[in-house]
Structure 1
């Protein structure tokens, strides 16, 4: 394993130094192994590991390429790990959401275009007259993803999307068991949207904090 780690580190250094750039094709396996002083087996294991975390893209019959290295691609690996969360860590995910989402919402109030704001309103109006809890939660996820994307920060957006999954069941549970939860969610969404449309970042931040903290506090008391 130590030899594979060393191979991973050497390829990583080639990318960090700019010797290999996004979209570049790696040299042939035999040439690269000789150049790095590695066995071909070690190099193969390193390439396989870096492909799993979306740093490299192995194209059968074509070669191995450095990916775009965009945040959403690299952080996709975190989403995979996050899926292994236990129920007793959901509160911790909500705590992190309470830190990140209000910041993203404030940024969205400054960066979202008028067209983006209109699209946000369309998401809100897309809820059926008598929605199920699952439909409301799906709409809630779209709403928050759109705001995160509107923050203008791709890393922040990817982090928030990665953290959304583990809290989905808690949102559904709240909608099924807490009286008035669904109406409250819709009211808070409207307030967040209005603050973004009015270009009031601190008001948007405050409403987003109230919104996420409401789920967190409900779950804390329920547990």
Structure 2
């Protein structure tokens, strides 16, 4: 049976069409991680496009972490996740002039709610609970210092949320979560800084303890409310 991703292309945006065809082949399972793709010459002939077009499309997919070149072997579909795959999405958010912060908050909420729901559905081992609790305690200890090292506190906050994400045992979730962490790192710092300036560091302590408590509980609505409450100052820094 002829593979759909190798049918001739009749399009004005030929480079993007080649990119779309190859990624479609991966999504549909016609190309699997570790598979070698046809040669530049073969793709040019099969897709009815120039070799320069194929070369440019492959170059872009390599930059995105979708394909890789193995010396003296050829070009292959990457076998595993790479944060480079999500770089275009990162740049799209960064370069937006209006509404990007609100959208970032929305994205982070969706990811965090999804992570919590996945953990509730899958369950969690005692050892994982202990690790999450240790991360929470480390954050609390950092916040109880006088003066508070804002950068260190932000790092402990990230480690706490990273530990929760790891409890999903889902590599794709971890990749997307890592992107959100990269995008929100500076705003986490500013949020903690603002809370400290207002003399309300107890809010941060209580928020994270409550989040941990609700994650252990049975009521999913209370868990979502705890997550939403944790954004009070985070949203405020952009007003």
Structures share fold, TM-score greater than 0.5:
yes
- Is 1:193 the counterpart of 2:212 in the alignment? yes
Q: Tell me the equivalent position of 2:178.
A: 161
- TM-superposed CA distance for 1:73, in Å, is 6.1
Q: Which residue of 1 aligns with 2:160?
A: 143
TM-score, scaled relative to structure 1: 0.80
> Counterpart of 1:48?
59
Change in Cα spacing, 1:80 to 1:154, as seen in structure 2 (3 Å) is farther
**1:8–1:50 contact (8 Å) kept in structure 2:** yes
Give the TM-score normalised by the residue count of structure 2: 0.75
Query: Could you tell me which of 5, 9, 14 is aligned with 1:3?
Result: 14
CA distance in 2 between counterparts of 1:148 and 1:39 reads 44
Match of 1:211 in 2: 230
Alpha-carbon distance in structure 2 between the residues aligned to 1:84 and 1:63: 35
In structure 1, the gaps of 5 or more residues are: none
CA positional deviation for 1:145? 2.4
The answer to whether the 8 Å contact 1:8/1:46 transfers is: yes
In terms of mean alpha carbon deviation, does 13-22 or 46-55 score higher?
Answer: 13-22
What count of residue pairs does the alignment treat as equivalent?
Answer: 220
Distance 1:142 1:215, change over 3 A: same
What secondary structure is seen at the aligned counterpart in 2 of 1:126? helix
Q: Take 2:79 and 2:95, find their aligned partners in 1: how far apart are those partners? A: 26
Q: 1:102 to 1:11 in 2, by over 3 A?
A: closer
